Homo-oligomer: A and B are copies of this chain.
Amino acid sequence: MDEQKGGTPGMDESAQDAGLGAELPGGRARPKTGKSEQTRALILETAMRLFQERGYEKTTMRAIAAEAGISVGNAYYYFASKEFLIQGFYDGMTVEHAVDAARRMQGHTEFADRLHVALSSWLDTAAPYHEFAAQFFRTAADPNSSLSPFANESHRARATAVGLFRDVLTGSDVAPKLDKELAELLPDLLWLHLMIIVLYWVFDHTPDQERTREFVRRSTPMVAKVVVLSRYRVFRPLVRDVKGLIQDFILPTIGRTAT
């Protein structure tokens, strides 16, 4: 609400550095990479460990601080709130997913296959966190929270995920046959599709989320079918309408990078 004090970190981790390793190229001018980053990482790791051990609610900020051997205030110096800890986690998981999916898609060229692999990969990556991830997606529906995968303009995780789905498409056999504009929309749509699956997943209490896996197995071919069918003449008007709707109403609300 109020203005930030000085140059507190923890708020603006979006623009800072794009890559993963935080090596400043030329200089040891400011010893930026030193203690500060270390503490930050320590807090995040400790928090994640405790979240997995006891769940989100049960893990208190005091416990995190104690376990990490620092003070509560210090944790708040790096993370504006408890929720921001999850943000850090989620960013990491998304990258993990993108890497794993890319690896597993190698060799597959059929669209349905690639899509299925990408989604399964997400389920596998997220599985260890199933219980406490629910907590994350709870706040996803909050427009005031900067955690929302929708609202926040520069959500790094979303960009990564959409990029992955672009890859799913471009590496597949249907790519060249599709209407160009539609091809541009699809990655975002597939990401939305993933969001729906995630919603389903969150509510899924079967062991190993078997139900969601079955859901993916059965829904993926249909999605593929729809994509393929969309090329036929009969559907043109409908496809055009839907495309317009999405372009005008959905995409603008989730921050796009370019047109």
Contact = CB atoms under 8 A, between A and B. Distances in A.
Interface residues of A, number: 37
A238 to B, nearest CB: 6
Interface in A140-196: 140-145, 148, 150-151
Given A151-B203, A238-B222, A238-B229, A215 B249 contact: yes
A245 B229 contact: no
Q: Is chain A's interface secondary structure helix, strand, loop, or mixed overall?
A: helix
Contacts of A238: 222, 225-226, 229
Interface in A99-142: 134-135, 137-142
A64 interface: no
A234 interface: yes
A211 interface: yes
29 contacts: A134-B143, A135-B142, A137-B141, A138-B138, A138-B139, A138-B142, A140-B141, A141-B141, A141-B199, A141-B202, A143-B202, A143-B203, A143-B205, A148-B203, A150-B203, A200-B249, A204-B253, A211-B249, A214-B249, A215-B245, A215-B249, A218-B245, A218-B248, A219-B249, A222-B242, A222-B245, A226-B238, A229-B238, A234-B234
